[in-house]
Amino acid sequence: MIRVFLFLIFTSCIINVQGQIDDNYETRRLPPSVDYLAPGCKLAIGESLTSENGQSQLTMQVNGELALFNVTDGRQTWSSMTMGSPASYALMQTDGNLVLYNNQQLIIWSSNTAGNPGAYLVIENNGKMYLYYNNASIWSTENFTWGNQPRNYMPPAGTPPPYREERKQPSNNDQLLKDKLAKEQQQKEALQKELDQKDKKLKELQTTADSAKHRQDSIIAQHAKDSIANIKPTKLTPKEQNEKALKDKKEKERLLKEKALKEKQLKAQQLKDKQLKNQKPPKTGTNMNATIGGKTEVPGK
């Protein structure tokens, strides 16, 4: 009766659970992007669990075998060695034991890791499968190799490794950085495209403006040419002609008078400059003749 009750609970559990493990198990919180098989959850036939990088996949196969594959080349990297068995699902039990059951709830295979309540299964990016409990690995396919082992060989299980491997929390920094760079590149390309379109539109507007200016200049030049061609010389009346001749004569006389006056002033200035140049400077010095008592004495006499 208890077994049937547990079976009903297990069959209602969602596979490929994402998020954090129940805090009651005191295990490390996983990022939302990591798939794992939580305590009390199972993999039915045809269902799979995938690593964070999508390169490895754990599948419960129709032949009763729980197998780990490399997605890239399809190579099988680990197996429960239960091919041809009646195993129908893999259950991550709440006691920390990973078990393959058949439809009659009989154990076909087990990791023999009971006593670690809250342990959970994760497929890491290195292509290995791990059972973690309290942030440490209690079972893994790390040491499993195919070699010349017989088909009935079971991978290491039941005894924890001699070391307590600290769980390396998956980091999404690289992926986040790639996504950020890709988004920035897309924004840059979109901005460049928008700038190219604006530059093209600006060039088109400039070309249109240049064409319009050229047409306007051509029209103005043609109008000016036509205006000059249409200008006719003004014909003066006899009275206007006489007035113009008299005005021109007076202007000519005025210019001649101004010219004569300037020439006269120039000659007067030249004469003045010549006189100043020819004028002798007054003699300076001491008179050697001394007058004493009204008489002039000549030195030496």
Closest CA to 127 of 22, 62, 212, 57: 57
Per-residue pLDDT at 17 exceeds 50: no
pLDDT grade for 215, boundaries at 50, 70 and 90: confident
DSSP 216-280: HHHHHHHHHHHHHHH--PPPPPHHHHHHHHHHHHHHHHHHHHHHHHHHHHHHHHHHHHHHHHHPP
Residues 251-270 have pLDDT tens digits of 989 999 998 888 888 888 88
Residues in the chain: 301
The SS3 call for residue 67 is strand
pLDDT grade for 180, boundaries at 50, 70 and 90: confident
pLDDT at position 283: 59
Highest mean pLDDT among 26-30, 165-169, 259-263 belongs to 259-263
- Look up the pTM and report it: 0.44
Pair of tokens at residue 71? 């997605």
Per-residue pLDDT at 224 exceeds 90: no
Share of the chain above pLDDT 70, in %: 69
Least confident of 25-29, 79-83, 163-167, 202-206: 163-167
pLDDT grade for 32, boundaries at 50, 70 and 90: low
The architecture (CATH level 2) of 2-174 comes to Orthogonal Prism (2.90)
Distance CA 256, CA 258 (A): 5
pLDDT grade for 218, boundaries at 50, 70 and 90: confident
Highest mean pLDDT among 31-45, 119-133, 177-191, 229-243 belongs to 119-133
pLDDT at position 273: 83
Per-residue pLDDT at 9 exceeds 70: no
Per-residue pLDDT at 72 exceeds 70: yes
Per-residue pLDDT at 92 exceeds 90: yes
Per-residue pLDDT at 207 exceeds 60: yes
Residues 102-144 have pLDDT tens digits of 999 899 999 999 999 989 999 988 999 999 888 788 999 887 7
pLDDT at position 8: 38
